[in-house]
Amino acid sequence: MGRRSDHSREELRELILEEGHRQLSEVGFARFSAREVAKRIGYSIGTIYNVFGSYDALLLALNGRTLDVWLAFLEQRLAGREERRLDAAIEAYFDFALGCRHAWTALYDFRLPEGTPPSQDYRDKVAAITGVIVREIAAILPPGLGGEALPLARSLLASVHGHCFFALNGTFAMLGETDPVGAAKARVADALARFGAG
């Protein structure tokens, strides 16, 4: 078959991303197959390469979509919340990771070849999620410590990430930890206490 006009370039891209994200969410990164995605949308594997150029680019785009969903999820959880907003953000971190287990895990399982930085677009998405936490922490920190918000947010994100990662990959289960969320909240509280916040 040759050229067809079933979908515009953009429609096709969206079609692939939609089905691709469904696949990734269902089977996980290790079993994800670009061929399978092509088959399911009724196109051939070559078409995916036409649109995305490579497997890596496709996966980066899929992970980008996960980041989009994650950001929306986080903000929705915070919307209207008055107290304990940082705790809510931590809960949202865990709930998203657990609820979108495979897609969330793929964010970290997939890595571009060494020396290949992700696109600016992707970096912006990561920065957007971080930005939410920076904002929340800045609102909590005592006046005059605003400059600490970014470094602290990075570090607390890493701490929460570690707890969430261990919760999902079984490390915590191995070690008998039954309340990863509580532990993560406690560590964040410890850090904020140092700055006289919380």
Partner DNA sequence: GAAAAAATTGAACGATGTCTATTTCTTTAA
Partner DNA sequence: TTAAAGAAATAGACATCGTTCAATTTTTTC
Residue found under tokens 């088959």:
39
50 DSSP assignment:
H
Q: How far apart are CA 146 and CA 22, in angstroms?
A: 40
Structure tokens at 96: 């998203």
Structure tokens at 76: 């929705």
Using the rule CB under 7 A, give the single segment among 36-44, 65-73, 121-129, 175-183 that binds DNA: 36-44
Is 99 near its own copies (CB under 8 A)? no
Query: Which amino acid, residue 70?
Result: W
Q: How many CB atoms lie within 10 A of CB 2?
A: 3
Is 110 near DNA (CB under 7 A)? no
Q: Return the SS3 of 112.
A: coil
Is 141 near its own copies (CB under 8 A)? no
**Residue 1 binds which entry of DNA, its own copies, none, CB below 5-8 Å type-dependent:** DNA
**Residue 30 binds which entry of DNA, its own copies, none, CB below 5-8 Å type-dependent:** its own copies
**What's the closest the beta carbon of residue 183 comes to its own copies, in angstroms?**
4
List binders of DNA among 55-84 (CB under 7 A). 55-56
Structure tokens at 191: 């850090």
List binders of its own copies among 9-48 (CB under 8 A). 30
Q: How many CB atoms lie within 10 A of CB 179?
A: 12
Query: Residues interacting with its own copies, by CB under 8 A?
Result: 30, 108-109, 111, 117-118, 123, 126-127, 130, 150-151, 154-163, 165-166, 169-172, 174-177, 180, 183-184, 186-187, 190-191, 193-194
